[in-house]
Amino acid sequence: MNQPIPSFEFPIPTKLLECIVDLTGDHSSIAVCPDFEVGSWRYKKLSDHLFDWLPDAALKSQERRALLGDPMQMIGKACRRVFDVSDPSKRGEIGEILLHALCRQEYDTSPFVARLFYKMRSNDSVTSVDMAHVLQNAETGQLELWLGEAKLYGSAREARQSAFKSIEPLWDAEFLEEMKALIGPKVEESAAYVDELTWLFADQTSLDKIIDRIVVPICIAADFDATKGAASRDEDYITSVTKELEKCKNYFDKRVPDKVRFVLIFVPLDCKTKLETHFNERVQNLL
């Protein structure tokens, strides 16, 4: 119906994270790794990689176009758009950028709303999706709405529990109705499949049309003992990661309704604090 058009004016960052485990089944479930170097997990490389993704994750296409000739201004604006300037310790947004980058590179999705945040519900609690992307399914030709959640935690168990609590509203009709009303006006004119997206989020379109298209990518980025103890991506390490990915997948398989399609991405970290500290040092210089 509608042909995709580019939503960015410069190449996306060169791929760093590699898929090291890919489980077969009803829901795509993968584990990714930035690899090891001289016996250590490459947290600095991952931090720098996520920093390079900031403009694509945080800015609208017209903003990137306007600042194309001044990359430092572009990155500075992206930092101010994304990060809490008052408390660096509350920067869970690193996980959001990670989710954005992985869906773009592993699944070829495209953002249609830049870093969507909004207040919902009568009690004014802040409810959001961490990512709003679109993808045309190559087999069915149907447009998919990828509404994702990212968790950056000290343990995978806590991360998946928190992630499930966050995604649970995505199969609640009242929540989806409010989300539909809030997303519709924010769809970018340069977004891929903009005509179909505009139709989907129109008042006259049944909510069922959105429900049929939702895919929920879940990024679990958490400290992992096997990563801390490894010096390379050897067979034992891959086995440990595979077992943890299977545990995470089983957790969501038991709790997510059959009608909801989810995509699970596991990022086994060496130490989230080291990753955050290195990233925040770069961000702080631009705020």
Q: Tell me: the pLDDT tens digits for 25-45? A: 778 999 999 999 999 999 999
In whole angstroms, give the CA distance from residue 162 to residue 153.
Answer: 9
Number of structural domains the chain divides into: 1
Q: Cβ(242)–Cβ(21) under 8 Å?
A: yes
pLDDT value of position 5? 43
Lowest mean pLDDT among 42-56, 86-100, 251-265: 86-100
CB neighbour list of residue 36: distance below 8 Å, 6 or more residues apart? 42, 230, 231, 232, 233
Q: Average pLDDT of 42-59?
A: 89
For residue 244, being part of any structural domain is answered with yes
Confidence of residue 286 (pLDDT cuts 50, 70, 90): low
Residue 93 lies inside a defined structural domain of this protein: no
pLDDT class of 130 with cuts at 50, 70, 90 = confident
Instruction: Compute the distance between CA of residue 50 and CA of residue 54 in angstroms, rounded to an integer.
Output: 7
pLDDT at 52: 87
Q: Report yes or no on 91 lying in a domain.
A: no
Domain range for 159: 18-41+107-271
Q: Is residue 55 part of a domain?
A: no
Q: How far is it, in rounded angstroms, from Cα 18 to Cα 150?
A: 18
pLDDT digits (tens, 9 = 90+) for 185-240: 888 888 889 999 999 999 999 999 999 999 999 999 999 999 999 999 999 999 99
